[in-house]
Amino acid sequence: MNKSKKIIALVLVMLLSVTLLSGCGKSGTSPSGMKEIKIMLFGDMPVDMDKVTDEFIARTKDTLNISPKFTFTPIGDYKNLVALKMSSGEAVDGVFDAQWNGMFDRLKDGSYIDLTSYFHNDEYPGLKAAFSEEYMAVNKFDGKIMGIPFNRAGSGTNIIMIRKDLREKYGAAPVTSIETLEAYMQAIKENEPNMYPLNALGSINGLYTNLLSEIDLDEKIELGIYQNPATFAEAFSGDIYVKDGKLGGMVELAGASEADYQTFPAPYNSNDAFMKKLEKIRSWYEKGYISQDIINQKDAEAPFVAGKAAACATETNRYSKTKIDTETAIPGAEIEFYVLRNNVRELKPGAIPRALQAWNFLCIPVTCKDPDSVMKFMDWMFSSQENHDLFEYGIEGVHWNAIDDVTYSVPADKKTNNYVFPGYELTWTFLWQRFDNDIDPEMLEYMKYMGDPKTTADDPFEGFAFDSTPVENEIKQALAMEAQAGVAILPYFNGMIANPRETILKELEEKRAKNPEYVEICKKIRVEAEKQLKEFLDKK
């Protein structure tokens, strides 16, 4: 980056930091002589974050001598702020990042340091115990550990949260299917003119992926059709058919040819299932079930909590807080939920492919002057359940009380204003997980089910790591040309395009005809992705 661009980036970072970042609590400067580490996360600052940090310092001041300082940024602004801070070279010690947050751009730019030497290292016993060799092998990038991966058994399943009080008020049946959901949304549309029947994220993880694609996921898995491994990143996004342990076919999310579908089993041997989902979303858009501006929606739950939406597409991990916040903010509000996947809803064993691949990482920028202190802090956190629970659940006896090894209760004075930490950004582990005993008995049952190893089944792609080196230049070229040559899929995923079945095929055909070079580049990337996955499956 040239000097002028770097100055501009730094100025933007300073402006954004003033307006967007929440502080790290009331403690102010770190205690004299302590090593301060700055960790950048997204979301809202948890209540009592400063008290939890002070408790950590009290426990470790004579050993670690580390003072962690957390900053939290609204999710809608976080991606841009991370990019600006990394490009400006501002000193940050730890940064939450993810594939969906532009992490691959930072890896290619050399923004993060290689953490490989810290793992499977007797000097860091907590990390060694919590992050197995098998787990870390799946979470390497081009053979290196570039971030601490956060995942856990049963990390959540997608649900629809519904205003039970409104459903009963307007005589709608309980939501047990997409059809009954639509009946509920129609009742809201007719009776609540200032409320949208349904809210969801406007991103790729919205109406298409986290709602409608969940409906037929069980059938697909039973047929051997799986979503692409996360390590493909920009190389491939779509469905993969595994037949008798071998690669049976690959279908891109948008842009697959009819020939690609031919190798898939019925009824997924054509693009009809994909098109029907786009048509369903378009019908909701036309009927006013979703906002006309939903593509810009960056928070699925906030409008629901505020009484501006009568349902929201979210996941089990966000249910308890959203329920409490909604019922506190809206007198008389009652919340219920609907699990989208049939096999999960029926608590069937083996319903979810075991996924060691993480989608959440803590990375250490090259500007960090003391990465050892960051890793020693993380090692402490994973050295015992007591240490881990301090940051994930807060101070025992203040924010929570243990009932047994896996269940806890929340003190009465903390029911509506308690410490709630986003564990997927820093604390998730396969070793420990607790469940709030005060949540709905039905939801508690699902949470325990999701954490049960029997719930998972073998993932055919476990252990696969795509090596982008052979097509690194082609991926860069494709990304640079995508805005002009590729199909913009988000407007289709948010119902903004009329006649989506005909329109997307026409757009795809026209752009392919105008951009033959882009087509050839994408083809080369696809061939390499297919080659590596085939070789991996053939060796299993």
Query: How close are the terminal C-alpha atoms of the chain, in Å?
Result: 44
Q: Is residue 450 over pLDDT 90?
A: no
pLDDT band at 19 (very low <50, low <70, confident <90, very high): very low
Would you place residue 2 in the very low, low, confident or very high pLDDT band (cuts 50, 70, 90)? very low
- β-pair partners for 311: 162
Residue 317: band (very low, low, confident or very high) from pLDDT cuts 50, 70, 90: confident
pLDDT of 5 reads 35
3-state secondary structure 394-410: CCECCCEEECCCCEEEC
CA dihedral sign of residues 132, 133, 138, 142: positive
Summarize the confidence of residues 29-52 as an average pLDDT.
86
Max avg pLDDT among 104-108, 204-208, 314-318, 389-393: 389-393
pLDDT score recorded for residue 134: 84
Contacts of residue 505, defined as CB under 8 A and 6 or more positions apart, other chains included, come to none
Report CA-CA distances (Å) from 272 to 105, 108, 176, 276, 360.
34, 37, 24, 6, 33
Residue 305 in this model has a pLDDT that exceeds 70: yes
Does residue 407 have a pLDDT over 50?
A: yes
pLDDT confidence band for 20 (50 / 70 / 90):
very low
Confidence class for position 92, pLDDT limits 50, 70, 90? very high
- Looking up tokens 């342990």 gives 245
Give the Cα separation of 471 and 460 in Å (integer). Answer: 24
Give the residue among 208, 292, 148, 170 at the shortest CA–CA distance from 504: 208
Owner of token pair 């979303």? 281
* pLDDT over threshold 90, residue 176: yes
Q: How far is CA 482 from CA 104, 125, 253, in A?
A: 16, 45, 15
Strand order in the sheet with 158-163: 311-315, 158-163, 335-339
Share of the chain above pLDDT 70, in %: 92
Let me know: does 424 contact 101? Beta carbons within 8 Å: no
Give yes or no for a contact between 353 and 458, defined as CB atoms under 8 angstroms apart.
Answer: yes
Structure tokens at 201: 């994220």
Instruction: Give pLDDT, residue 275.
Output: 93
Q: Which CATH superfamily is domain 3-151+358-395 in?
A: Periplasmic binding protein-like II (3.40.190.10)
Per-residue pLDDT, 23: 42
CB atoms within 10 A of CB 499: 11
Q: In the chain, what are the domain boundaries?
A: 3-151+358-395
Q: Grade residue 89 by pLDDT with cuts at 50, 70 and 90.
A: confident
CA distances from 82 to 10, 19, 40, 368, 421 (A): 12, 15, 9, 14, 20
Cis peptide before 267 (omega within 30 of 0): yes
DSSP assignments along 184-215, one per residue? HHHHHHHH-TTSBS-B--SSTTTTIIIIIHHH
- Average pLDDT of span 484-503: 89
Helix (H) or strand (E) holding 163: strand 158-163
Which residue in this structure is represented by tokens 């076919």? 249
Residue 210: what pLDDT? Answer: 87
1 has pLDDT over 50: no
| Segment 190-210 mean pLDDT | 93
- Residue 92 to residue 74: CA distance in whole angstroms: 18
- Predicted confidence band of residue 96 (pLDDT cuts 50, 70, 90): very high
Contact 226, 353 (CB under 8 A): yes
H/E stretch holding 361 reads: strand 361-363
Question: pTM for the full model?
Answer: 0.73
pLDDT mean across residues, the chain:
87
Supply the pLDDT for residue 231.
67
Q: Which parts of 175-308 fold into alpha helices (H)?
A: 178-191, 213-215, 217-223, 258-261, 272-287, 302-305
Instruction: Report residue 16's pLDDT band, with 50, 70 and 90 as the boundaries.
Output: very low
CA distances from 212 to 2, 158, 240, 276 (A): 45, 10, 18, 10
321-337, pLDDT tens digit by residue? 899 889 989 999 999 99
Structure-block tokens of residue 12: 């933007």
Cβ atoms within 10 A of the Cβ of 235, count? 21
Residue-wise pLDDT for 97-132, tens only, equals 998 888 888 888 899 999 999 999 999 999 999 999
Q: What is the pLDDT of residue 137?
A: 85
Comparing 22-36, 42-56, 401-415, the range with the smallest average pLDDT is 22-36
Starting at the earlier edge strand, list the strands of the sheet with 401-402.
Answer: 401-402, 407-409, 435-436
Res 499: pLDDT = 96
Q: What is the mean pLDDT of residues 401-430?
A: 89
Predicted pLDDT at 17 = 42
pLDDT, mean of residues 160-165 = 98
pLDDT band at 459 (very low <50, low <70, confident <90, very high): confident
DSSP symbols for 95-153: EEE-GGGTHHHHHHHT-B---GGGTT-TT-HHHHHHS-HHHHHHT-BTTB--SEE---T
Residue 143 CB partners (closer than 8 Å, separation 6+) = 465, 467
pLDDT, average across residues 134-155: 85
The pLDDT value given to residue 28: 34
Per-residue confidence (pLDDT) for residue 154, from 0 to 100: 61
Per-residue pLDDT at 148: 97
pLDDT average, residue stretch 390-401: 95
Q: Return the SS3 of 382.
A: coil
What pLDDT does residue 24 have?
40
Give the whole-angstrom CA distance, residue 303 versus residue 305.
5
**CA distances to 182, 361, 420, 427, 482 from 424, in Å:** 32, 9, 12, 6, 31
